[in-house]
Amino acid sequence: MLLGPDDMIGRKLDLLSLGAARQGGTRYGFETWPDGRDYLTATTLTVGHRDYPGLGWSVVVRQEADTVLAPIRLFQWTLALLALGAALAAAFAGSMLAKRITRPLLEIADAADRIREYDHDARIPYARSYAEVFRLSSALVDLDARLRRRVANRPKAPAA
């Protein structure tokens, strides 16, 4: 090694990527170096120019894996937080929508329960929030009105 960290100058560098680069072309990827740390490593062989054959040197550059991956990890965390926020917002919106859908049904059910318990003041509400509920409430209001008329028109039993 001619240029690099002081503790490595003059040493022979034994890297898988160097062996692969010597077979031709440029190689790059993550590799564990002799110091036991992972680096993004790129290697290439030098070539001459025109009729000059060159020295046949290998050029090796590296960057610590943690430094290279830091922006990616930050992006992953940001994406995860955004996804969590979107999931929470969707859950909240779903909850609000479910309440909007079920509220008129619960009001109709409560009124029907009161009528079943002979609460003469109870009335089925006209719910117009959406077509299916309107149809149900209209049918029940009509049914309630018919029953009330039938009860009102029923002959009274003679007093004993």
User: In the prediction, which pLDDT does 130 show?
Assistant: 84
- What residues have CB less than 8 Å from 136, skipping those under 6 apart? 105, 108, 127
Closest CA to 127 of 113, 111, 114: 111
- What residues have CB less than 8 Å from 24, skipping those under 6 apart? 45
Output the pTM of the full model.
0.56
20 vs 146, more confident = 146
Mean pLDDT in residue range 4-25:
77
Query: What confidence tier does 79 reach under pLDDT thresholds 50, 70, 90?
Result: very high
Residue ranges of alpha helices (H) inside the chain are 16-22, 65-116, 131-153
Please state the length of the chain: 160
* Domain segments of the chain as ranges: 6-68, 94-152
At position 29, the amino acid (one-letter code) is G
87 vs 57, more confident = 87
CB 42 within 8 A of CB 36: no
Mean pLDDT in residue range 50-63:
85
Does the pLDDT of residue 84 top 90, yes or no? yes
Query: What confidence tier does 160 reach under pLDDT thresholds 50, 70, 90?
Result: low
Residue 60: enclosing H or E segment and its boundaries? strand 58-64
Q: How many CA atoms lie within 13 A of 29 on its CB side?
A: 10
User: In the prediction, which pLDDT does 158 show?
Assistant: 73
Cα(15)–Cα(63) distance, rounded to whole angstroms?
Answer: 15
Phi-psi group of 159: left, alpha or beta (phi > 0 → left; psi -120 to 50 → alpha; rest → beta): beta
CB 66 within 8 A of CB 40: no
Q: Sign of the C-alpha dihedral, residues 125, 128, 131, 135?
A: positive
User: In the prediction, which pLDDT does 34 show?
Assistant: 83
* Tens digits of residue pLDDT in 135-146: 999 999 898 889
User: In the prediction, which pLDDT does 81 show?
Assistant: 98
User: In the prediction, which pLDDT does 89 show?
Assistant: 98
